[in-house]
Amino acid sequence: MTEGRLLVLDDDADVGQTLGMIAEGAGLEWLYTGNAGDFFHQLAQWNPTHLAIDLVMPDMDGVQVMQKLAEMDCRAGVIITSGVGSRVLDAARRSASEHGLNVLGVASKPFSLPTLRDMLRRRGNGAARIGHLQHFSLDQFQITREDLERGLEARELVMAYQPKLHCGTGELSGFEVLVRWQHPEAGLIMPDHFIPLAEEVGLITLLTQQVLDSSLSWFAHHCGHRPLTLAVNISARDLVEFRFADQVAELCSKWNVAPETLTIELTESSAMEDPVLSLDLLTRLRMKGFHLSIDDFGTGFSSMVQLARLPFSEVKVDKSFVMNAMISTEARTVTRSIVELAANLGLKSTAEGVEDGETLAFLKEIGCDQAQGYYISVPLWGDEAVAWMKNH
């Protein structure tokens, strides 16, 4: 049975032939082209589902071909092939992904048969990246301070909860709360569009209080009787409030949630904003029993310094590494190293951006503690999260 159509672009016909045979073995039809002109012609005529593109060619190189594919908004699965070193291949992969192409993987010559077969099967795997919570395009809509103030007053923030699993057992370990704003005119607004404004105009303290109050209430009602954790994101500006640690402690006691169940996530770049202040305030949070997690680890400026210096208890491996662990040797190596680094420092590790089962298995194998991502679940509304827990 035919599973798809592979269009090969390679200036070496023998290599094209080899790829074709592998594709045939995987149940795909295939067609070989030796230059970019023929390639684009067949692309339009034959409507392939898979593309194998050689990086280094005489007329138009693979990077240019992929740029053009991106401009055409091509949805076919792309496999990048080449004899160049793996770091160059990896950079080409990243460039293609950042251009929005659906990259299935990279293959260095000589090809490994199982690896290629795997990639050819992968196409349906471009899993739902967006999740089912709809995003709103804010192009036409300008949020103002007044608006945000009114929204907070009217309690328009809504919480989504994303499940986290223990890698070792596959059991539920807890939830991360991710805030959204249900705006009366603009619809559902994602945090990237209003958190920076809240920070800028001095409303973040109020916002964080509402997120904590609302999520602790939900957690107390639905998870209080189980050994689960709740993770909340805070902003560096929250730490400017001297009483922050006390306020969090008060909210925990209001909802009867033990401080040890709450993990406070702070991105490493925020932790650096005012290093001395953060050191004091983060230390106070730890002294009260809260867990502290360094979020998006690996993306900041001086990750190692902050990790050694500040009293974190958990590291969250940034999703840019985790998401690509199955298609990039480099991403896999960075993920493993961060998990090992965390373990060596006596910290827990959570991988975010787990989008397939292979990645989850890999994380278990390297001893990562927890996993979070679309493969497990997208962020869910409170009632959906309760239903999810029943079924898990």
Q: Are 83 and 56 in contact (CB under 8 A)?
A: yes
**Residue 147 or 265 having the CB closest to Mn ion:** 265
**Residue 195 near which of ligand G, Mn ion, none (CB within 5-8 Å, type-dependent):** ligand G
User: Alpha helices, DSSP H only, in the chain?
Assistant: 13-25, 36-46, 62-71, 86-98, 113-121, 145-153, 195-200, 204-222, 244-254, 268-271, 275-287, 303-309, 319-322, 329-344, 357-365, 382-391
Residue 295 is a binding residue for ligand G (CB under 6 A)? yes
Residue 296 is a binding residue for ligand G (CB under 6 A)? yes
Residue, CB closest to ligand G = 373
Residue 265 is a binding residue for Mn ion (CB under 5 A)? yes
**Residue 54 or 296 having the CB closest to Mn ion:** 296
Backbone angle region of 353, left / alpha / beta, with phi > 0 → left and psi within -120 to 50 → alpha: left
Residues 200-219, one symbol each (x = binds ligand G by CB under 6 A, - = not), give -----------x--------
Tell the smallest beta-carbon distance from residue 239 to Mn ion (Å): 16
Q: Which stretch binds Mn ion (CB under 5 A): 21-29, 41-49, 166-174, 294-302?
A: 294-302
Length of the chain: 392
Spell out the residues 6+ positions from residue 104 whose beta carbon is closer than 8 angstroms to its own. Answer: 50, 77, 78, 79, 119, 120, 122, 123, 125, 327
Residue 240 is a binding residue for ligand G (CB under 6 A)? no
Residue 295 is a binding residue for Mn ion (CB under 5 A)? yes
Residue 359 is a binding residue for ligand G (CB under 6 A)? no
User: Residue for token digits 């305030």?
Assistant: 281
SS3 (DSSP) at 174: strand
Residue 54 is a binding residue for ligand G (CB under 6 A)? no
Residue 278 is a binding residue for ligand G (CB under 6 A)? no
SS3 (DSSP) at 207: helix
Q: Are 270 and 290 in contact (CB under 8 A)?
A: no
**Residue 265 or 318 having the CB closest to Mn ion:** 265
Q: Name the token pair of 9.
A: 């672009």
Residue 268 is a binding residue for Mn ion (CB under 5 A)? no
Residue 238 is a binding residue for Mn ion (CB under 5 A)? no
Q: Name the token pair of 4.
A: 């798809």
Residue 225 is a binding residue for ligand G (CB under 6 A)? no
Residue 192 is a binding residue for ligand G (CB under 6 A)? yes
Residue 233 is a binding residue for ligand G (CB under 6 A)? yes
28-33, strands of its sheet edge to edge:
28-33, 4-9, 50-54, 77-82, 102-108
SS3 content of the chain, % helix, strand, coil (to 5): 45, 20, 30
CA atoms within 13 A on the CB side of 123: 19
Site for Mn ion in 297-356 (CB under 5 A): none
**Residue 259 or 353 having the CB closest to Mn ion:** 353
**Residue 211 near which of Mn ion, ligand G, none (CB within 5-8 Å, type-dependent):** ligand G
Residue 195 is a binding residue for ligand G (CB under 6 A)? yes
Q: Which stretch binds ligand G (CB under 6 A): 22-30, 72-80, 229-237, 305-313?
A: 229-237
Tell the smallest beta-carbon distance from residue 372 to Mn ion (Å): 9
Q: Which stretch binds ligand G (CB under 6 A): 48-56, 68-76, 228-236, 326-334?
A: 228-236
**Residue 7 or 179 having the CB closest to ligand G:** 179
Tell the smallest beta-carbon distance from residue 259 to ligand G (Å): 18
Tell the smallest beta-carbon distance from residue 88 to ligand G (Å): 25
Q: Which residues pair with 229 in a beta bridge?
A: 174
d(CA 169, CA 171): 5
Q: Tell me whether residue 227 is exposed, middle or buried, using C-beta atoms within 10 angstroms of its C-beta: 0 to 12, 13 to 18, 19 or more.
A: exposed
User: Residue for token digits 């967006």?
Assistant: 130
Residue 77 is a binding residue for ligand G (CB under 6 A)? no
Selected from 44, 58, 129, 137, the binder of ligand G by CB under 6 A is 129
List contacts with ligand G (CB under 6 A). Answer: 129, 162, 178-179, 190-192, 195, 211, 233-235, 265, 295-296, 319, 323, 352-355, 373-374, 379
